[in-house]
Amino acid sequence: MRPLYWAVARVVLHRPLWLASTSPADCGAERNPYPSHVRRQYWWSAQNSPDVDPKATTTRGDESDSREASSLTQYLLAQHSTTKVPRRIYILGIGNVGGFVAHSLASLPHPPPITLLLYNQKQLSAWHEQGRSIKLTTHGLLDTKLGFEVESVRQPDSTTEYPPTADVSPQLSGPPDADIIHNLVLSVKAYHTVNALKQVAHRLRPESSILFLQNGMGIIEEVNEQIFPNPEQRPQYLLGIISHGVYRVGPFSIVHAGAGTIAMAIIPRNIEEIKPASAPSALYLLRTLTRSPVLAAVGFSPTDLLQLQLEKLAVNAIINPLTALYNCVNGGLLRQPSVSRVMRLLLAEISLVIKSLPELQGVPNLSVRFDIRRLEGEVIGIATKTAVNRSSTLEDVRRGGPTEMEYLTGYIVRRGEQVGLQCVMNYMMKHLVLAKEKMRRERRQRLLPIDKDDVD
């Protein structure tokens, strides 16, 4: 009778079952040993929803929820109840991930206003040719979304690799360039991040929030060093890890090949900060993305998200460089004894570095989670699941462009040096890929006398 009683009670209090299951009241000490500020999922109610007026929706159940809420929920509620956050969301980097997020947000009931930040006239022309829409194909079904606004962003340093922008076209719609950006989703390549953010940094404020949806690690440290060195002037950061299978078939046309999730966390401005959401816009951005059933976004604590990041990094630091060197799809690494030996040597260093990171000391089951055998199983599992796919590093090398190796294997090498470990195998792997990247780029520029029939 107890489960039925609680189900009826939750319906009476207008609390959805899936949402109420994450309530602190339902998580006893034996079920959820984490402290209140390290809950694995954020808990939403009518009181802290950005789309609902708290004063107009207070009920008996909500009052009970407020008393039961964790310190994190109470803090987020206090932040939102005193500040009105603009609903407009800007997206910089309209590739496969950025386009997928934009389309998913536009599919929401009462969607937020969305502005796409385009970086050159060519992209603007493609936008008009595609009917000013984003197309998403899922299981063979095409869905087209309209109603986006676009803006042109200007490149301050024309010598950088992020393409410069031509003069702003009168066809561009949207608010003027001087408007403050409160909510920004950033989904450009890791090596473009600094140059892309420089274009809009003057429109960001400490109350703004940036969601980084990218591969690799070490990006935020680079942004802090080159763009926001003053902690008091930095926007609030959020990190996201996307596991959806999406790829682009044309400008603003994307295929959703495999369902996944987006793991997200609000990153504290400093290590000592316990309450992670100091900017109300961060709560709004997190809340809005978790509303989308297609994105399947879930909130995590910063420590939990860091471990998820490192797990993904360990997999990418194996599959990406090896597929680039061997010029093969992900499945080509399987059932190759020589490749398996190289993989284990690389993972031995990666495992040791991760387990030595000072920010993870004291985390339960760290040695088990990042054991070499478990990481090898993760690599094999991903390579099997994506056997016919080509890694992003292989694609970058083939087109003669830069790769994200500095943010994959390079991050492992840098963090190893910080904790006193020399990752010679990963150091060698990083420079092998960088050398191939450079040679391929020079060949495309016809700077090397290599015969066209020569094959990698």
What pLDDT shows up at residue 441?
A: 84
What pLDDT shows up at residue 271?
A: 57
Distance from C-alpha of 127 to C-alpha of 149, rounded to nearest angstrom? 11
What pLDDT shows up at residue 171?
A: 34
Contact 13, 60 (CB under 8 A): yes
Distance from C-alpha of 164 to C-alpha of 158, rounded to nearest angstrom? 6
Strand partners, 240: 213, 264
- Count the alpha carbons within 13 Å of 312 in the hemisphere toward its beta carbon: 17
Single-letter amino acid code for the residue at 240: G
pTM summary value: 0.76
What pLDDT shows up at residue 269?
A: 78
What pLDDT shows up at residue 253?
A: 93
Q: What sign does the CA torsion over 306, 312, 315, 316 have?
A: negative
What pLDDT shows up at residue 436?
A: 92
Distance from C-alpha of 75 to C-alpha of 81, rounded to nearest angstrom? 10
What pLDDT shows up at residue 447?
A: 58
Contact 44, 69 (CB under 8 A): no
Q: Other C-beta atoms within 10 Å of 323: how many?
A: 24
Q: Which residues, in sequence order, are CB contacts of 263 under 8 Å at separation 6+?
A: 240, 241, 243, 297, 298, 300, 305, 308
Report the Cα–Cα distance between both ends of the chain, in Å, rounded: 68
What pLDDT shows up at residue 409?
A: 96
Contact 81, 58 (CB under 8 A): no
What pLDDT shows up at residue 350?
A: 97
Per-residue pLDDT 10s for the chain (456 aa) are 454 444 434 433 443 333 333 333 334 333 343 344 333 333 333 334 444 444 433 333 444 333 333 444 444 444 444 467 899 999 999 989 999 999 999 999 999 999 999 988 888 888 998 899 999 999 999 999 999 999 988 644 433 444 443 333 333 334 444 589 999 999 999 999 999 999 999 999 999 999 999 999 999 999 999 999 998 889 999 999 999 988 888 899 999 988 899 999 999 876 555 554 468 899 999 999 999 999 999 999 999 999 999 999 999 999 999 999 999 999 999 999 999 999 999 999 999 999 999 999 999 999 999 999 999 999 999 999 989 888 999 999 998 889 999 999 999 999 999 999 999 999 999 999 999 998 888 887 765 555 544 444
Tell me which residue of 400, 384, 277 sits closest to 332, measured CA to CA.
Answer: 384
Both tokens assigned to 338: 């020589």
- Could you tell me the CA-to-CA distances from 214 to 78, 97, 241, 408, 438 in Å, in that order? 30, 9, 7, 11, 23
Distance from C-alpha of 107 to C-alpha of 243, rounded to nearest angstrom? 20
